[in-house]
Amino acid sequence: MEYCVVLPAAGQGKRMRAGKNKQFLELRGEPLIVHTIRQFELDPWCKQVILVANGQEIQAMKELAKTFQLSKVTSVVEGGEERQYSVKNGIDSLKDDSIVLVHDGARPFITIDVIHRLVEKAKEIGAVTVAVPVKDTIKKVTSQKVVKTLNREELWSIQTPQAFKLAVIKEAHQKAEEAKMLGTDDASLVEWNGHVVGIVEGEYQNIKITTPDDMLFAEAILKEREMRKDDENRTRL
Ligand SMILES: Nc1ccn([C@@H]2O[C@H](COP(=O)(O)OP(=O)(O)OP(=O)(O)O)[C@@H](O)[C@H]2O)c(=O)n1
Ligand SMILES: C[C@](O)(CO)[C@H](O)COP(=O)(O)O
């Protein structure tokens, strides 16, 4: 089951406070964005990666793709002021009518198992997001006073990838732009446009690298995955 993926990587990484776009920060000697792209390079269902970059970083991203032999990166598209506009530029560059995934360049730990479950469901219902049940108690707060404790059974933390039939996401982005509607994810535009969005339960390790602490968590996840791979190799021998 084939799909294309749009990877928005045109942010500034302000909350990371690294003095540069966090996509270029290294984890085990490789830039963050390379880790993310690699997950899709390894997936036989992925036929094309559209990378979205800041205008002044397009060349650097193209060089990364060459250096790290990321052969599925077919184009590097210029991003916009907001994540939503970056994603729209990526989606507008796609023509064929397959399933399209939108995945944050800053989420390097997505797994093929989750991607495949997502793509299968998107084929069926047209719009799906990866999500995990919240672990904390969530309260609505106004002026530093609790207004209400929300029912945790109904609350999910939304991640990427989010998968759509191309026509569904193109229409939602187009209408949102016309109405000046800005969402923090792409599924919210599809919901707003009147389309049902399904959920696929994902993994807590699919973190978005946002603040310096996340680099520590990322190192721990990489270590755990390496150990798991070593164990699997030993069992095979
Ligand atoms: N105008 C923008 C803003 C964000 N992104 C991308 O969207 C993803 C999720 O955004 P976030 O983690 O908020 O990244 P930044 O915007 O870079 O971070 P910050 O808000 O701290 O500046 C990232 O891969 C980021 O590069 C983008 O392509 N274009
Ligand atoms: C799309 C997203 O990753 C879903 O959790 C998230 O909404 C991006 O938001 P951010 O404010 O740009 O971090």
| pLDDT score of 27 | 97
Distance CA 82, CA 102 (A): 15
pLDDT tens, 16-34? 999 999 999 999 999 999 9
CB-hemisphere CA count at 13 Å for 13? 27
126: left (phi > 0), else alpha (psi -120 to 50), else beta?
Answer: left
Cα 177 to Cα 87, 103, 181, 196, distances in angstroms: 12, 20, 6, 20
Give the whole-number percent of the chain exceeding pLDDT 90: 95
Please give the pLDDT value at position 204.
98
Phi, psi of 165, rounded to the nearest 5 degrees: -70, 140
Domain boundaries, the chain: 3-236
pLDDT recorded at residue 137: 98
Q: Per DSSP, which regions of the chain are E strands? A: 3-8, 26-27, 30-31, 46-53, 73-78, 99-102, 127-133, 139-142, 145-149, 156-165, 198-201
CB-ligand 1 contact for 84 (6 Å cutoff): no
Give the mutation target among 58, 104, 159 for probing the ligand 1 site: most ligand atoms within 8 A of CB: 104
Task: Identify the residue with better confidence: 233 or 64.
Answer: 64
Give the Å distance between the CA of 15 and the centre of ligand 1: 10
The top-level CATH class assigned to 3-236 is alpha beta
Q: Write the pLDDT tens digit of every residue in 120-158.
A: 999 999 999 999 999 999 999 999 999 999 999 999 999
Q: Read off the pTM.
A: 0.97
In the predicted structure, residue 225 carries a pLDDT above the cut 90: yes
* 22 close to ligand 2 (CB < 6 Angstrom): no
Dihedral of CA 82/114/111/227: which sign?
Answer: positive
pLDDT at 120: 98
